[in-house]
C-alpha cells in the first residue's frame, strides 16, 4: 500500500493524545490509526481507557492535549454533529430510552429518515436475533439484559452506519448467539471497533487487537 493509499484509507486518527482524570493518566501520547472497514478489538484491564477511546471519538470527552480526527475532520463543536451521524455507539449498559419497544424503533427510524427500509428489514432482523415479534409490544424496562442487548444490536443493524463502536456487545448472550452475532458483525463492510472480554472476539482472526495499558 502506498503512502497516498494509506492516507486515504485512514478513517479515524488519534494523534498525540494525553488525558488525565482524577490525577490518573489515562493516555500518554497515544497514537492510533484505524482504517476504512478495519475490524479492531480493544482489550485491556478495567481503567485503561478502552471506553474513553469511544467517548473521545464521539466528542463526549476532550483530550488534555492532542487531537482526534474522523474522515479527516477534527472532533470539535463545529464538526461533531455531522460526524456522529456516521457513527453508531452501543454502550455497555445499553442506554435505551424507557418507552415502548415499537415506539422507540419508530422514533429512531423516523429521526434518521429510514422508515421504509427499516420497516422492510425489521422482521428479518428480529428473526435473526431470535426475538419474537411480540417484543415490540413490550416496554423497554420489561426486557431482560439479553433482550436489551439484542434490541441495541437491532438498532445498529437497522441504522447501518459506516462506523460501529460496540462496547461489550455480547456480554449478556449465550455462546451460540455470541458466535452468530460475531459472524454477522465481522462480515459487514464497516469500520468496527469492539471493546470486549468475550472469548468469541479474542479468538477471531478477522480482528486486529489493540491492547490498552
- DSSP 3-state percent helix, strand, coil across the chain (nearest 5): 40, 25, 35
- Which three cell numbers, joined as nine digits, stand for 120? 422492510
Over the stretch 148-182, which tens digit does the pLDDT of each residue have?
Answer: 999 999 999 999 999 999 999 999 999 999 999 99
Determine the pLDDT at residue 56.
Answer: 98
Residue range 39-68: average pLDDT?
95
Task: Tell me how far apart the alpha carbons of residues 193 and 178 are, in angstroms, rounded to a whole number.
Answer: 16
b (16+ CB within 10 A) / e for 105-125: bbebbeeeebeeebeebbeeb
Say how many CA atoms lie within 13 Å of 124 toward its Cβ. Answer: 7
Q: Which of 177, 122, 115 is nearest to 145 (CA)?
A: 177
Determine the pLDDT at residue 134.
Answer: 97
Determine the pLDDT at residue 46.
Answer: 86
Element (H, E) at 159: helix 145-159
Residue range 77-90: average pLDDT?
96
- Which three cell numbers, joined as nine digits, stand for 181? 452475532
Residue range 26-48: average pLDDT?
94
Could you tell me if 165 and 91 are in contact, meaning their C-beta atoms sit under 8 angstroms apart?
Answer: no
In the numeric block, the cell 493518566 is attached to 25
Degrees, nearest 5: CA angle 175-180-181: 100
Average pLDDT, the chain: 93
- pTM value is 0.93
Distances (CA, A) of 5 to 11, 74, 79, 190: 12, 20, 24, 18
Q: What is the dihedral of CA 111, 117, 122, 124, to 10 degrees?
A: -160
Chain centroid to CA 51: how far? 10
In the numeric block, the cell 471493546 is attached to 195
Q: Which of 213, 187, 209, 189 is nearest to 199 (CA)?
A: 209
Amino acid at each position: 500500500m502506498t503512502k497516498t493509499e494509506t492516507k486515504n484509507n485512514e478513517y479515524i486518527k488519534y494523534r498525540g493524545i494525553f488525558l488525565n482524570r482524577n490525577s490518573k493518566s489515562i493516555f500518554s501520547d497515544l497514537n492510533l490509526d484505524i482504517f476504512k472497514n478495519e475490524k479492531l478489538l480493544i482489550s485491556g484491564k478495567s481503567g485503561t481507557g478502552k471506553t474513553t477511546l469511544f467517548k473521545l471519538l464521539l466528542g463526549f470527552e476532550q483530550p488534555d492535549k492532542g487531537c482526534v480526527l474522523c474522515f479527516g475532520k477534527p472532533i470539535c463543536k463545529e464538526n461533531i454533529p455531522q460526524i456522529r451521524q456516521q457513527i453508531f455507539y452501543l454502550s455497555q449498559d445499553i442506554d435505551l430510552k424507557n418507552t415502548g419497544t415499537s415506539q422507540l424503533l419508530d422514533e429512531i427510524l423516523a429521526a434518521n429518515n429510514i422508515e421504509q427500509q427499516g420497516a422492510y428489514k425489521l422482521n428479518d432482523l428480529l428473526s435473526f436475533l431470535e426475538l419474537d415479534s411480540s417484543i415490540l409490544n413490550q416496554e423497554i424496562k420489561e426486557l431482560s439484559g439479553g433482550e436489551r442487548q439484542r434490541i441495541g444490536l437491532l438498532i445498529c443493524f437497522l441504522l447501518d452506519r459506516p462506523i460501529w463502536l460496540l462496547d461489550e456487545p455480547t456480554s449478556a448472550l449465550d455462546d451460540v448467539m455470541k458466535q452468530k452475532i460475531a459472524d454477522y458483525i465481522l462480515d459487514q463492510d464497516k469500520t468496527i471497533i469492539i471493546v470486549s472480554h468475550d472469548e468469541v472476539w479474542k479468538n477471531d482472526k478477522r480482528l486486529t487487537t489493540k491492547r490498552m495499558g
